[in-house]
Every structure is written in structure tokens, then in C-alpha cells.
Chain A
């Protein structure tokens, strides 16, 4: 299911123009990271994809659905959205109930519901915590509950708003595994992140936003080496990319392995 954003502008009621003429297409099954400084319009943009916000100008198509003509509840069949702050979306007494809430409201059969909940518990490694109250879990695991409750909705498109915030190394590793699995399953994943290293290691396509506009849009290698443009939106290239740039490597590198391979070849040359 393709996403098509056409000349989208959005003005908040207080007058702040948060998006100005944004156009982009995201094909079915793409893994896209959106980066950019605080206030660049990242969250405002993705809130248009499930109808939480409606365009001031332009339009957004999710498949053949124009978001202006469909309710948020209806769009939830196509787009799952994991909030930045899990506490804004969790409300039931147990982890398993929380995860079942979304898919149940989409009207799935009992059998499918059960399969989806088990699958989500397993992907997020929450099986042992299924009967716990989400608010008794640490923020790290609460975030996993929020993610699981969206995974279980089995939507073709998933949005993660800063999933790495406040997560430790183990948890960021879990996230990377989930995103890789979603890719395998052909899901579209759109992730807002400030963790540029996480972005470099897990996403094929990177969209850079600044001042409500798209500054760069391309493959991780095309985008992440562009130090000057990234600086406009207060982003540094990933650590490994910066290391490569500083050492004058002729190729943009995104992971330690890539760096060492290119470095070794260029030393020998």
C-alpha cells in the first residue's frame, strides 16, 4: 500500500506553520527514517498519515484513501501509530489486554486476535509480562507494550515516533530486530528518530526535515554523508560516517564493518 503526500501544508491553530509544501511518496514495504531538529515538523507530518491531523493545504493518500475523507478509526486499519510517549496510549490493566485492544476494535476474528497477540508478545519479548499491569513495568518495557499493541493490529503501515528515546542498548537491539522482521513481512515502517546511528544501521531510506520542509530524501548513503545540509537542521552525520569523512574515505560508510572494509582497502591502495 503506497503512501502519497501531495503538497502538504499545515498550520496549527496558534498560527505556527509546521509544514510547508511537503511532497513525498513511500512505496509499499519501504523502511524509512525521518530525522531533523526538534520542531522540524516530523511528528506533524506523520500525524497526517493516520488522520490525527488534517491538511491545511494539499492532501495525503493512504493507498486509495484520501485522509480527509476517512475517520481516524477507519485509517487505523491501514496505519498503526506508536506514540513517542507510551503513557499517552496505555490504559488497560494487563499487558495482554492492552495488546488485544487495537485488533479487537478492528473486528478481527477471535482466532486471528489470539494469534496476533501472541505474535506481538513474542516479537517484543513480553511473554513473561503478559499479565502485568503496564504501569508496573519500567519505561523501557512500557515502550515495548506500546509497540506490541500496534504490531498486533497487523496494519500494512507502521509508524514509530522516536522509539529509541530513553531506551538502553539491549532495548535498541530489540527494536532493530522488530524492524528487520517487519521488513521481512513486507510492512512499511516509518520511524522518526534522533538516534542517527540507529538510523544509519537500520533504514534504507532517510528523509531529512527542517523548518517544515523536506531537505533531503534518498538512500542512507546518499543522505547521511551530507554534513552541510544536515547541519541546517541540527543533525550530525552518524558517528561512523563522521569518522569516514574525517579520514577522507572516498565512500560514505554507515556501520563499523563497512568502515573497516573501506578503510582497509584504502590503506592498502
Chain B
């Protein structure tokens, strides 16, 4: 049984006449890792807010259709209960960090304090999550003294510590260095393997291809493509519509027109796929020589 179910979801922000989401139908299984892609303005953040209950509870506006997590709908719940089901990591950590805490440790404990978790359990959970997200050494620093990438880790830690059933992330690595990005994708993958359901809006195609189970491509508020990462991420309609495309895909498409990529081979999204494709061409050519 799917843990997340969206049926005929259409949403208008207050005072707008064009829907930000339109006729979205989506079912997500427990432990699935979904990547949501799309140009800016396609509805990625809006979908994140809808899953997290910020729509309709915070942003108001008009929500049609049903958004259910674990058999309950957002419309019939309040936000303080909903946060236990769905945790949202904001795109901009500056907007998520409470401003009420002096240290990273306290910041990460903030949600647990508000849920009245016993002190000992709280300390243990915070320590675990700081370790997992690689920021244990920043525990005593002020969240505002950190770099953008470090703040994004704090934002992630303060949601993971709540152990939500569904983890929603809105471009959680946008300010991180590449190795930070890899670590964070690794942590999130691990959470998914433990049964946490993950929905992540993201632009980094190579990472999506390696980590996500399914990709949803949004375009003007609608689901435009949906499927396995390799299949969706190499679809030639993506570039036309302003989606980001992996450089490996771009290079191979160019190579195809120059006879440097085998026509029957799927286009690559990751380094490994590109390496084996080009190696095959080179071996083929050297064998073909007298």
C-alpha cells in the first residue's frame, strides 16, 4: 500500500489565476526514493510544500483533490501533527534555521523540545544525527556563523532528528561542495533503505541517476514525464523545455551525430555509463583496423 497518495491535486497560490500544480496523481511506496526535477517555476517547491502540509495550512490559497500520507489527509490534520509524518528540508537554510538558538546542537534539538521528548533521549538523538550528517564538530558553533553548505547540513539534521515517515527535501545540496553532496545523498539513501520515504527536488542529474528509484519531471505544474532515472533523464524533450541535462548525456548525443556513440546503446547519465560507451567505440574502431 502506498504511503503517499495524491489524487487530482490542483493548487492555486492566493490571488493567482494560474495553478501552480495541476491534476497531479502520484503514489509513492514506503522506502521509495523519488527525485523531482523541473525548471524553476515548474512546481517543484510547491509540490514539496503540499506534501509537507505548508499548503494549505501556511500558504492558504486553494487546494483541490486529496493529499494523503499514511491514510490521513493534510486537509483534515493540523501542521503540528503533520510534521511527525512529513519533514521538510527547506531550499534556503536561512529560512529554516530558527534564529532562537545559539548553537547547532540546540538548533537540531529544537523540534524535539517542542514535541516534549525526554532530555536524555533528545541528547542521544541529536548526537546520532550530528554524527550521521557529518557536523558533530560544529555542535558548539552558532548556526549563523556557518557557510551555506554547512547550514544546509544543519537544516537536514534538524529534520532527520524528528524521524518523519516521509522526508521531503527541496534542493538540499544546492550550496554544497561536490563531496558534501555525495555524503548527503549517501545519508538520504541510507534513510530510504531503512524505510523512510524520500521525495527530493533536485537539479543534479548525475546524482539522481545514481540514487533515485524513480524520477518525476514537472513542467508548468503538471507531471510531464515519470519513470526510471535513466529513461527520464535522457529523454530528448528535457533540454527543449529548459530542464538541466547531464553533460554525459549532452556529450553522447553530440557524439551520436558524429558516429562516436553506438546508436543502439542508451544515452548515459553517469560517468560509468559514459566511460563504458566511449570505451566500446574505441575498442570497436581499433578492432576494425587492418
From B250, which residue of chain A is reached at the shortest CB distance?
A256
* Interfacial chain B residues near A268, Cβ < 8 Å: 285
A51 within 8 A of B: no
Give the segment of B51-59, B121-129, B176-184, B223-231 that binds chain A.
B176-184
Is A263's CB under 8 angstroms from B39's CB? no
* Interfacial chain B residues near A87, Cβ < 8 Å: 92, 94
Number of A-B contacts (CB under 8 A): 126
A residues apposed to B, CB below 8 Å: 12, 14, 36-39, 43, 84-85, 87, 138-140, 162, 165-172, 194, 196-197, 231, 233-236, 238-240, 242-243, 246-247, 256-257, 259-260, 263-264, 267-268
Give the segment of B65-73, B109-117, B272-280 that binds chain A.
B272-280
Is A239's CB under 8 angstroms from B271's CB? yes
B residues apposed to A, CB below 8 Å: 38-41, 91-92, 94, 141, 145, 147-150, 171, 174-180, 203, 206, 239, 242-248, 250-251, 254-255, 258, 260, 271, 274-275, 278-279, 281-282, 285-286
Q: How far is the CA of A245 from the CA of B279 in the complex (A)?
A: 12
A-B contact pairs, 10 of them (CB 8 A): A37-B177, A39-B147, A84-B148, A87-B94, A138-B41, A140-B41, A234-B179, A243-B251, A247-B278, A267-B260
Is B247's CB under 8 angstroms from A240's CB? yes
Is B91's CB under 8 angstroms from A243's CB? no
* Interfacial chain B residues near A260, Cβ < 8 Å: 251, 254-255, 258, 260
Q: How far is the CA of A139 from the CA of B45 in the complex (A)?
A: 11
Q: How far is the CA of A12 from the CA of B274 in the complex (A)?
A: 44
From B145, which residue of chain A is reached at the shortest CB distance?
A14
Is A263's CB under 8 angstroms from B278's CB? yes
Q: How far is the CA of A78 from the CA of B282 in the complex (A)?
A: 52
Is B271's CB under 8 angstroms from A246's CB? yes
Contact of A168 among B40, B145, B148, B149 (CB under 8 A): B40
Is B147's CB under 8 angstroms from A235's CB? no
Shortest Cβ distance from B4 into chain A, in angstroms? 25
Is B242's CB under 8 angstroms from A168's CB? yes
Is B175's CB under 8 angstroms from A139's CB? no
